[in-house]
A and B are shown apart, each in its own frame.
Chain A
Amino acid sequence: METENSTILELEEHSEALQTAKQVDFKMVTFSLAGKEYGIDIMKVKEISKAERFTYVPNTAPYVRGVHNLRGDIISIIDLRIMFHLPAVKKKEGDLEDMIILRLDNYFIGVIVDSIDKVVGISSKSIQPPHPLFGDINIKFIRGIVENDSKLYIILDVEKILGAHTQEEAQAEKQTVEQSSEKVHKEIEHDVDLGFIVDTLKTFKKFRVTDLNLSWVKQRFNVWKKEKGSDAESLQLKDVADADQYLQSFYSPSSGRMWDDDYMAAVTKALPESSNGPFTVWNPGCGKGYETYSLTIALKKKLPDAALKVWANDNDLLSISTAPNLFFREEEIPGHIAPYFVESKNGFQIVPEIRDVILFEYHDILNPNPFPEVDLIVARDLLSFMEINDQQKLLKEFWEKLKPNGVLLLGANEKAPDMDWTAREYGAVIAYTKKNV
């Protein structure tokens, strides 16, 4: 044990000597897996150790090698190579496996790697975000990439890899879906008429009532009662037109056209403050593109120095096809953004300066996408029209894809769950940021 600790210290000193030139505020233990170099934050590493003959535990995932007695503490041993589907060299009988013992929350876990190299000190500023095309290891497990001594190290995020078990997660997800639909059922069960409306909205408009929009649906129901009288017959939504009428006030301001002055001002306030580096935006469900253009103009005004990049996508081929070359009539353009338009022979167009930062894609949001982490997600009136479990899945994906200080904007009448999101009101617009879990 003492020898092992002293090796860490020695390694540390050695690498420190090499690194005196630049400011070192992040140290990582480096190791190799299938010939590539990886690093793990040293603060998560309890020690390094060698062992063999782990006690096999039946009925576990294939990457669990078993348990090991580490001076009286029983810890689980995970083979990272098997976990990441990398080739694992079979050790000869009696050869010891290299292990890194990690300290997570309140337990220890051992991971087996090909070989442990040394401790490298780097400046945390030099860590670059992972490239989305890394093949071997799922990008969400990668914290960043760093170059040191002309070697590239992939820094793994151990908490994401080992913190939560995927099966448990799936279980928990299922539970939240059940809970949420149960809750909605409970809320509406005393009111047959409301329940009927909830069902017909789903049939006619694919509008699913969940926690996300329940408060609006109830509020709207009260107004609806006043409009239609409380007799059950006239309350019902008989066709698509009725459902459209019911949902009329659901849609966010300035839907399907360029944003007006007031709404743009409110959104501008909700946008993140100054940034002069890269600033990436994801705008799923952008439809014909009015929303994306308005948003990009607002961003350009607020963050003139940022290197903007906006991904906009929709799964309606007809709408999205026209988006990159949208033409406007003069009366469609609100005065406050007129400078962002140029006249061409078919009508007015957005200036290239704005158009060039937007990438319109024909994409189904339920399919995986290669986008890296983003600074802003704008998904207005999108989730309410998704299946209940897809709503949950997407909210989770938004959470994962958003940078720590990133902002999420939903539709005017949609609410993100308090459990994961902090809401800030800016007039008509609510901006959500991630709660630290």
Chain B
Amino acid sequence: MRVEYINPFVEAAFSILKEVLDTEIERGELYLKSTSQPVLGVAAIVGLAGDVEGRVLFDMTKDTAIAIASGMNGEELKTLDELGKATITELANMITAQAVTKLHELGFKFDLTPPAIFTGDNMEVTDTEVEALIVPVNLSLGKMEINVAIRERA
């Protein structure tokens, strides 16, 4: 993945999460992965197109998702209902959009697809031929992994 793309995504994730949740955030070590990997239970996905193609996936457990959605709405949610899902989707949208805005300032043109959310047990994500950058984020509410897979249009 192009070096210039890494920072905008990491920075956007941190500034948005800090803003909406108002909690301590700790960054894990970034790494690359290309084999299929398990998804924790809730995955919000935003597609990217333009100079590049790829997607950003926000991966967390159901409990973490409920806690984040509760925090963002300022009310206690018991299950991951419509509102909860919409909240997580919006979070994914906000982070990706801010990253893309930053990249725009650097001169890269990206378009976003509307976010989608997947929930379920024992899910797995596989990107053949594109390696993904994993940004682990440790929140006081739980762990979230941001999984960015982008490649240049050659």
A197 to B: closest C-beta gap in Å: 32
A361-B2 CB under 8 A given contacts A133-B153, A317-B30, A368-B34:
yes
Chain-A contact segment, one of B20-28, B73-81, B109-117, B127-135: B127-135
> In the complex where A131-B154, A372-B154 touch, is A363 in contact with B129 (Cβ < 8 A)?
no
Interface centre among B34, B128, B154 (most CB of A within 10 A): B154
Whether B133 contacts A362 by the Cβ 8 Å rule is: yes
- Sample of 15 A–B contacts (CB below 8 Å): A133-B153, A320-B3, A321-B6, A321-B7, A361-B1, A361-B3, A362-B6, A363-B1, A364-B32, A367-B33, A367-B34, A368-B128, A368-B131, A370-B130, A371-B154
Q: Rank and list the top 3 A-B pairs by shortest CB-CB distance, nearest first.
A: A367-B34, A367-B131, A360-B3
Q: Which of A323, A362, A370, A371 has the most CB of B within 10 A?
A: A362
Q: Across the interface, name the chain B residue whose C-beta is closest to A324.
A: B3
CB pair A362–B154 under 8 Å, yes or no, is no
Please count how many residues in chain B sit with their CB below 8 Å of the partner chain's CB atoms. Answer: 20
Q: Which A residue's beta carbon lies closest to that of B7?
A: A321
Interchain CA distance A324-B4 in the complex, whole Å? 8
Contact residues of A between 104 and 134, Cβ < 8 Å to B: 131-133
Given A321-B3, A321-B6, A368-B129, A359 and B152 contact (CB-CB distance below 8 Å): yes
Interface residue B151 (Cβ < 8 Å from any Cβ of A): yes
**A residues less than 8 Å from B131 (CB atoms):** 363-364, 367-369
Does A315 have its Cβ within 8 Å of any Cβ on chain B? yes
Select one of B6, B34, B53, B130 contacting A364, CB under 8 A.
B34
Interface residues of A (CB under 8 A from B): 131-133, 315, 317, 320-321, 323-324, 359-364, 367-372
What residues on B are CB-neighbors of A370 within 8 Å? 129-130, 151-152, 154
Interface of chain B, main secondary structure: mixed
A133 touching B4 in the complex, CB below 8 Å, given contacts A364-B32, A370-B130: no
B32→A367 contact, CB < 8 A: yes
Residues of B near any A CB (own CB < 8 A): 1-4, 6-7, 30, 32-34, 53, 128-131, 133, 151-154
* Nearest neighbor of A322 in chain B, beta-carbon distance: B3
Minimal Cβ-Cβ distance residue in A for B131: A367
Interface contact B151-A362, CB-CB below 8 Å:
no
A131 neighbours in B (Cβ, 8 Å): 154
Cβ-closest chain B residue relative to A314: B3
Determine the distance from Cα of A362 to Cα of B4 in the docked complex, in whole angstroms.
Answer: 9
A-B contact sample (10 more), CB < 8 A, given A360-B2, A367-B32, A368-B34: A132-B154, A317-B6, A359-B152, A360-B3, A363-B1, A364-B32, A367-B33, A370-B129, A370-B154, A371-B154
Q: Which residue of A lies closest to B4 (CB)?
A: A324
In the complex, the chain B residue whose C-beta lies closest to that of A359 is: B2
- B154: shortest Cβ distance to chain A, in Å? 5
B154 pairs with A133, CB closer than 8 A: yes
In the complex, how many angstroms separate the beta carbon of A313 from the nearest chain B beta carbon?
9
